[in-house]
Amino acid sequence: MNPPFPIPARRTFTAKTVTLAHGGGGSAMRDLIDDVFLSAFSGAGRAAPEDQARFDLAALAARGDRLAFTTDSFVVDPLVFPGGDIGKLAVCGTVNDLAVGGAVPVALSCAVIIEEGLAVELLRRVVGSMAQTARAAGVSISTGDTKVVARGACDKLFITTTGIGVVRAGLDVGIAKARPGDVLLVNGLLGDHGAAILNARGDLALDTTIESDCAPLNGLIDTLIAAAPGIRMMRDATRGGVAAVVNELAEASAVGVRLSELAMPMRPEVQGFCEILGLDPLYLANEGKILAVVPANEADQALAALRAHPLGREAAAIGTVTAERPGRVTMETRFGGERIVDMLVGDQLPRIC
Amino acid sequence: MNPPFPIPARRTFTAKTVTLAHGGGGSAMRDLIDDVFLSAFSGAGRAAPEDQARFDLAALAARGDRLAFTTDSFVVDPLVFPGGDIGKLAVCGTVNDLAVGGAVPVALSCAVIIEEGLAVELLRRVVGSMAQTARAAGVSISTGDTKVVARGACDKLFITTTGIGVVRAGLDVGIAKARPGDVLLVNGLLGDHGAAILNARGDLALDTTIESDCAPLNGLIDTLIAAAPGIRMMRDATRGGVAAVVNELAEASAVGVRLSELAMPMRPEVQGFCEILGLDPLYLANEGKILAVVPANEADQALAALRAHPLGREAAAIGTVTAERPGRVTMETRFGGERIVDMLVGDQLPRIC
């Protein structure tokens, strides 16, 4: 980034709530950006003076041969939930999208749409989470935008993060690359995010301590790639859960996938939660779980590497790729039967991320 | 981008309105993305199979030495207005943010937040505008995201575009680079976008034909840079209008700026519109206008180059940079007086872009 831009002295930003003026392009907006965003992001990178961040291309090219570019909007409801908030989620989601493509995340942009009346303290908390999570993931938040809409024109706060990263030279992972005999791994307990959000909405009055698994996975993925250089595919199991990813994989790779219900790592609380509500945990969203397909001869070392990482202690092999029934996902149930795992039309829960 | 992903045969996507299922990560979402987004963007680039687009870094580095990265959310109300719609705006806005930093735009991401119930035909129109504008600007739309929220949780449609581009080697423009003696240029008529949007809201029942000036300016900027290689700064005069940009310039460069009211190119309709409503046209948003600061010895050739371009026919020199009164913007009025042009606290019009 250049040229360096002095962060202005902390202004006495005393507004308690965000108003339309804070999105108007004038001095109120500048104060909000200086005081709430730049002061938080300065440790983790900094919004650029020119409304645009700049990166040296030779330095990027020294880290890999391809630039990765990905975007996600976050509209999760509620904004704050056990295990995280929309800010943490917005950073993890895009960092993970980069990482599962084999890219080392470099920087994020952050565009916010704020509803008039949002408490500045809440915004500060969310922005603080973004900064903290970005630091933990080793990425900068380098550029941004702020819009404010009138009361009722959006639900409190939406965040869109876009990420750039560098794909490691020689690594070629993809949803169409699974082959019969490959093994399907997951790095831990399934369904925590979906269950935590649904519970946090408070309509259910279920007494659980389930927390979102929201976490940046780029470090874990570094470890995994080192242990299994022949890795075929990684994907984070967010909206649509494990079922959506595995169905996409089966279709794109023209293979069958056979899952094992008994092998699925899942908290008994999540299982119970799903039973009470009639949900299928295979479709619950995760925000700190990847599915990885590795060749059979690398499966043991991949699993060991995952389990040695703090975010992979409960990692498991949950299925195998087959030549039979291409495009189909089946699951051996805990009672030894078999069922088809289809793609849902929609999701069980809207605004899960 | 790799690997190439076959665009699926056009499905019989018959939904008339967007539903929550279309944002759920399942097959309904895939159908919406395939049919509405991928089919439109395929001519202008294509959403990538891995939720991430990829670009060869060596090819980027051959075009310049720095990568530029910028983001904007668009929440304009109404979605469709004379001269454009939110889709055209979302592409132009980010293309122009890249271009004013001296970057050649390469690709955009597109993240949409849709209110349940939005007409699919309207979404198609907006997405079609995005594709058409991207083609005109020579950029691809390479990756995206779709979220759907319940009725009342957003106002119809918000779009966030993020852009990457390559900054020309050796070019160093910036808001802090103006020097006394420099000349301030604009590429045409001011205030059209702001006036068009306000009028399109329909509360006023004024009978005007003012259209938004929304346009991608990267071609014009190429011409300008070629004509004035010593160019100091460019900035698009969007939210906050000319006044916001010039105030930022005066502060960041520690110079004074003296504007000439008589020299401001403006339609008589826009002037009349502002008089009726008590608005100051200097603060009206533009979406196809840049302010450029050039050294005095390059001003004539820069102006001639702008005027020779279809988007610069009404270009004018509207002010000069002075050593006096650093940080202050003044304007010589049409009656020979002088007034201070201050930065507003907010904006005259919310949701202008």
Mark which residues 277-316 of B lie under 8 Å from A by CB.
285
> Which region among A2-11, A151-160, A251-260, A299-308 has the lowest average model confidence (pLDDT)?
A2-11
- How many A×B Cβ pairs under 8 Å? 282
Amino acid letter at B118?
L
pLDDT tens digits, B209-265: 899 999 999 999 999 999 999 999 999 999 999 999 999 999 999 999 999 999 999
Report residue A74 as tokens: 């976050």
Minimal Cα–Cα distance from B240 to chain A, Å? 5
Position A45 pLDDT exceeds 60: no
pLDDT tens digits, B70-80: 999 999 999 99
CA B308 distance to own-chain centroid: 21
Can you give the pLDDT at residue B344? 83
Cβ atoms of residues B131 and B161 within 8 Å: no
Position B50 pLDDT exceeds 70: no
Of A51, A70, A147, the CB nearest to B52: A70
At B58, the pLDDT band (50, 70, 90 cuts) reads very high
Q: Tell me the CATH number of domain B183-340, given options 3.90.650.10, 3.30.565.10, 3.20.20.140, 3.40.640.10.
A: 3.90.650.10
pLDDT tens digits, B286-321: 999 999 999 999 999 999 999 999 999 999 999 999
Instruction: Report the b/e string of A254-284 with b at 16+ CB within 10 A.
Output: ebbbbbbbeebbbbebbeebbeeeebebbbb
Can you give the pLDDT at residue A189? 98
Segment A211-227 mean pLDDT: 98
Segment A173-192 mean pLDDT: 97
Are domains B20-167 and B183-340 of this chain identical in fold?
no
pLDDT tens digits, A85-134: 999 999 999 999 999 999 999 999 999 999 999 999 999 999 999 999 99
Looking at chain B, which residue has its C-alpha nearest residue A64? B57
Report residue B340 as tokens: 């201070």
* Whether A245 contacts chain B with CB within 8 A: no
Position B69 pLDDT exceeds 70: yes
Can you give the pLDDT at residue A42? 79
Mark which residues 177-236 of B lie under 8 Å from A by CB.
none
Report residue A104 as tokens: 């080392």
For an interface test with B, the pick among A13, A30, A52, A89 (most B C-beta atoms closer than 10 Å) comes out as A52
More confident residue, A48 or A279: A279
Can you give the pLDDT at residue B7? 41
* Whether A13 contacts chain B with CB within 8 A: no
Whole-angstrom distance, CA of residue B117 vs CA of residue B167: 41
At B208, the pLDDT band (50, 70, 90 cuts) reads confident
Percentage of residues of chain A with pLDDT beyond 70: 94
Percentage of residues of chain B with pLDDT beyond 90: 82
* Whether A171 contacts chain B with CB within 8 A: no
Taking domain A20-167, whether its CATH number is 3.40.50.2000 is answered by no
**ipTM of this predicted structure:** 0.94
Whole-angstrom distance, CA of residue A37 vs CA of residue A130: 10
Minimal Cα–Cα distance from B21 to chain A, Å? 4
Pairing of strands B256-260, B316-322: antiparallel
Whole-angstrom distance, CA of residue A201 vs CA of residue A208: 13
Can you give the pLDDT at residue B47? 43
Segment B154-160 mean pLDDT: 98
Domain ranges of chain B: 20-167, 183-340
Q: What angle do CA B300, B301, B306 make, to 5 degrees?
A: 100
Residues in A touching B150 (Cβ below 8 Å)? 350-351
Cβ atoms of residues B160 and A71 within 8 Å: yes
Position A286 pLDDT exceeds 70: yes
Amino acid letter at B335?
F
